[in-house]
Structure formats: structure tokens, C-alpha cells
Amino acid sequence: MINIKKSLAGLLLALLFTNAWSVNDTIILNSEIYAEKISADLDSLVNSWYVKLALEGHPDDFMGDSAGIEYPDTIYKARISKIYSLIKLPYNSIIRNHIHVYTIRQRKQFSAVLGLSDYYFPRIEDIFDSYGLPAELKYMAVIESALNPNAVSRAGATGLWQFMYSTGRSYGLTINSLVDERRDPIKATHAAAKYLKDLYKIYNDWILVIAAYNCGPGNVNKAIRRSDNKKDYWAIYYRLPRETRGYIPQYVAAAYALNYYTEHRIKPLPLNIPVATDTIMVTTDIHLNQISEVMHIPMGELKALNPQYRTGLVPGSSKPFSLTLPMNHLGDFIDLNDTIRNYKPDIYLSRINQTADPTRSTYAPPDVKGKTKLIYTVRDGDNLGFISEWYRVGLSDLRYWNNIYRNTIRVGQKLAIYVDPSKADYYSRVTNMTFAQKQAMVGKTAPSGPAMSFIQMAPEGDFITYTVRSGDTIWEIVKQFDNVSASDVLQLNSISDASRIKVGQVLKIKKKS
């Protein structure tokens, strides 16, 4: 390990003297990209039903102290060393940056994660214990999804454990237009436990297991082969995909934040998730709306407890499926079973023909009432992840609306997208925008009414200009342009501190030939 550290230090020093800007830029850029991913996950969590309900009832808990506390490296290092873990937890400046995401930059949202951890962690620990897995692997669920079972990544990974379609299916999860068990916290955790156990059989090293979970065993194996067959994470670090290099720092930061949040004056958001729940197997079709309206249980609560049912329909007639209910409602559900099934069956239990023209969506889903339907024409270079981000819709919804089961789309294909009517004018322009203009929309709040352009495409000599918006960073901006680096933009605009760009500031972007 000492030799490895020396070799890494030597490599960094050599690079530093040969190209100081690019090394610093790369390290900061990678750290920011990972931090922004965490921030995006935490922001999306705030939209979940129990969290929104808690924010309405406890705004002071969420909006209390927001200053945050930054400690010296010696304190972070000492605290991490005291965390009980079979997995060795290192410390460095990159890990410190990720700690600050949880404890300073996104501390309010992290309080929601803490509230959810009281509900999910005991269940995860129980399942992991049954498979003989270290309980501290539970922290992976925080960096995968921020404990949001409805989380969907740009690449289509879904659920608490962010399974891709093929991996989820291979571990026994049902995935179709009605049911996506990647969103079922219990079944997905069993699948994750099996996958982690299989990975440990390959590597016999938990850090490599965590890395392989993120990027796949194929990428880890390639990194090992290219590193003289060294089976050590830090020895193969620079051979791993960039995202995976940040995964271990994220993991350590999450472990730290979940163990030392009180030292940072962060309080768990009190969530009214029923701790006492039970499941019952359903062998005929039933809709969550039927249960909600007959039993007077909020639909949001039923969907939060049963996130795997994409439309609310539990298709028990095809095979038995589980239904999760608060324990105090289970007896009433059994007593009212016939009444519930006979309540508005023509409305809630009709199966809709989901065959569709492969180039145009004619399927009308049942859960888009009040939305405006737009048509997007697929262009070269598009993928479903990009399109879902441009329109700010869920990737799984985009697939469902268009009867798409994987990620394959074709140039010229027409996709149906359902949006808020007040923002329809804004989104109706997307299909005619350039790629750079569409990327400029990512992560931004859509205004009601006419769309606005934040990229000025009219040339200014050899430059185009970009107007900084709220939430922008240099690294997000440069991703919208081909062959432009953060250092290019900073140097061209005489900016010495990348964190000090301001909303409304006009940046010059050099056009590349």
C-alpha cells in the first residue's frame, strides 16, 4: 500500500508540473460532477409523497439552521476512523468535498434522507444479515438513490438500488409496463443482496465489490488486467470509469454524514411513514384507487408503500403480487375485499391495448388526465435519458407512454410526452432546438408561458455567448458544448475562481472548428 501511495503521489506531482491547470481542473471537475449527481438525487427526493407531507407539517425542522459547519481534516479523519465497518474507510480532500455536499450544500435535503433511513435501514439490515452481508453496505442505497424507490437515472437505472433492466431481470425482478419491481424496496434489496454476494465471490474484497456494483464487473476486470492484475481499488483507480472513481468517496461521505449528522446540527425530518406494515398476496386485479376511495386511505400513501405498480393497477390475475398496507388497515381490507373489487371496475380495471405503431405513439395511458400531449421527433444522438431530462419527466414514464421496454429508439421516431398545460408552450419548442439549447434546459425550472433562450447562438466574432442561470456551474455549462473545457471558458472570460460566476453573467464560449 505504501508503494501504491508513493506511485500515485509521484504521478500526480509529475502531472502537476507538466500541466498544472489540467490536473487541477480534472480533479475539481470530477468532484463537482459527483457532487451534482448527489445534489440532483437529494433534490428529487423532496418531491416524494411522505417528504412533501412532512415539509408541510414541519417546515421549521427542514428550514432551520442552514449555515453548516466545516471541520478541519484532522477531525473528519478521526471521526471516520471510529465508524465501525468491515470495509476500510479512507479519507482525503475529495471525500471531504462530498461530506460538504451532505452537511453544508444539501443539508436541508439530507435531513429527509435521515428521516427515510429510520424506515429503510432496519429493513435493509435485516435482509443483508440473512445473506451474511456487512450491514454497512446499506450506505450504498443513499448514494444510489438517496433512499428514493422512484429514482431513475439518466441511463435508466431504477429504484432504491438503481438496477438496470437486464440486471434486475436476471435477479428475478418483474419489469413490464404495469409492474417494475426495481421500485419495490424489499424485493429490490433481496436482489441487491444476491448481486453483492455474487460480486464478493469474484473479488473477495468489499471495496472492489462496491466499485463493481457501480460500473459492472466487466469494467473492474478490465481495470485489473490493465494494472498488472492487482486486485486493489487504489491500484486500479485510474483505470476505472470516471464515475466509479467518485463512488468510493461518495460511499465514505455518506457513511460519515449518517453517523455524525448531529455534530453538524442536522435533524432528521420526521416522516409519518407507518413503521408497522404488512403485505397480503393479491390473486385478482385490483387498483390502488379502488382501495383509496373505499377505505379512505390517501392515494399518495398507497403509491408510496407500493411504488412498483406504475399505473396503480395490481395485476394479480396474471400471477400473485404483494400489496403493502399499514397494519391498522389490513383487517379492514380483508373485510371489504369484495366491496373494493366491485367499486368502479369499468374505470379502474380495464386493460388497455398497448400495441403501438413503432414510429408514432398512439397509446393513450390512463394516468395523464389534465396533461398536454406533445410529440418529440427523435434526432441523431438522442437517447431516452436526454429526452426525459429535457422535458423533466420520468424515464420510466417516457417508456410507459410510448410502450418502450428498453432504451432503443430510432431517428425519426415520434414520442408522446405529457406535460403540465401551463408549460406546454415552453416544452413544445424542444423538438426544434439544437442539442446545445436542449442541454441548457437540464435541471432548470420550466417557466409557465413562452420559452426563453439562454444560449445566444448569434456569433460574436469567433464566439457564442451563454447567460448564466440560477444553479449553473462552469462544469454544467461546458457539458452543453462540444470540445469546450472548463479551463477554456475560465481563461477566455478571465475568471480565476470557478465558483464565483453570477446569475445573469454573460460568458463567451469559443467556437471550435
Most distant pair of Cα atoms in the chain: their distance: 76
Which helix (H) or strand (E) is 281 found in, with range?
strand 277-282
* Domain match, 409 and 497 both: no
Q: What is the DSSP letter of 357?
A: B
**At which residue does the C-alpha cell 419527466 appear?**
393
* Domain match, 301 and 324 both: yes
Q: Is 439 within 8 Å of 479 (Cβ atoms)?
A: yes
pLDDT of residue 480: 66
Q: What is the DSSP string of 62-123?
A: HSS--S-----HHHHHHHHHTS--SS-----HHHHHHHHIIIIITHHHHHHHHHHHHHHHHH
Q: Which domain holds residue 305?
A: 277-348
Q: What is the DSSP letter of 178?
A: S
Residue 429 inside a domain? The answer is: yes
Residue 151 inside a domain? The answer is: yes
| Cα–Cα dist 397/82, whole Å | 43
Cα torsion through 116, 118, 120, 122, rounded to 10 = 170
**Cell numbers given for 389:** 431530462
| Cα–Cα dist 215/246, whole Å | 11
**At which residue does the C-alpha cell 446569475 appear?**
503
Q: Domain with 507 in it: what CATH number?
A: 3.10.350.10
Residue 12 inside a domain? The answer is: no
* Domain match, 436 and 344 both: no
pLDDT of residue 460: 45
Residue 1 inside a domain? The answer is: no
Q: Is 113 within 8 Å of 253 (Cβ atoms)?
A: no
Residue 449 inside a domain? The answer is: no
The pairing of beta strand 313-315 with beta strand 414-419: unpaired
Q: How far is CA 271 from the centre of its chain?
A: 21
Per-residue pLDDT tens, the chain, 513 aa: give them.
444 333 333 333 332 222 332 333 333 344 454 555 555 565 566 566 667 766 666 555 554 455 678 999 999 999 999 998 888 898 988 899 889 988 988 888 888 899 899 889 999 999 999 999 999 999 999 989 889 898 887 778 889 999 988 889 889 999 988 899 999 999 999 999 999 999 999 999 999 999 999 888 989 999 999 999 998 888 998 899 887 888 888 999 999 999 999 999 998 888 878 778 889 999 999 999 999 999 998 888 899 899 999 889 999 888 899 999 988 898 899 999 889 988 988 888 875 432 233 333 334 454 566 788 889 988 877 888 788 888 888 777 787 787 775 567 888 888 889 888 888 888 888 888 888 778 777 766 666 554 444 444 434 456 777 777 756 677 667 766 666 777 778 778 877 666 677 777 888 887 654
* Domain match, 314 and 395 both: no
* Domain match, 167 and 89 both: yes
Q: Domain with 92 in it: what CATH number?
A: 1.10.530.10
Residue 33 inside a domain? The answer is: yes
* Domain match, 183 and 61 both: yes
Choose one of 331, 348, 365: the last residue of a domain.
348
Cα angle, residue 315 at apex, residues 310 and 320 outer, rounded to 5°:
120
Alpha carbon of 152 to those of 176, 253, 292, 397, 464: distances in Å?
15, 22, 26, 10, 33
The pTM (predicted TM-score) of the whole model is 0.64
The half-sphere exposure of 329 on its side-chain side, counting CA atoms within 13 A, is 21
* Domain match, 426 and 466 both: no
* Domain match, 117 and 53 both: yes
If one counts the domains in the chain, the total is 4
Expressed in angstroms, the distance from the first to the final Cα of the chain is: 45
What does R_g of the chain's alpha carbons equal in angstroms?
24
* Domain match, 137 and 205 both: yes
Residue 340 inside a domain? The answer is: yes
Choose one of 212, 235, 264: the last residue of a domain.
264
* Domain match, 287 and 300 both: yes
Residue 11 inside a domain? The answer is: no
* Domain match, 386 and 407 both: yes
pLDDT of residue 432: 81
| Cα–Cα dist 246/445, whole Å | 27
Choose one of 294, 324, 348: the last residue of a domain.
348
In terms of Cα–Cα distance, which of 110, 401, 445, 53 is closest to 256?
Answer: 110
Active site residues: 144
pLDDT of residue 365: 54
Which helix (H) or strand (E) is 507 found in, with range?
strand 506-510
* Domain match, 301 and 357 both: no
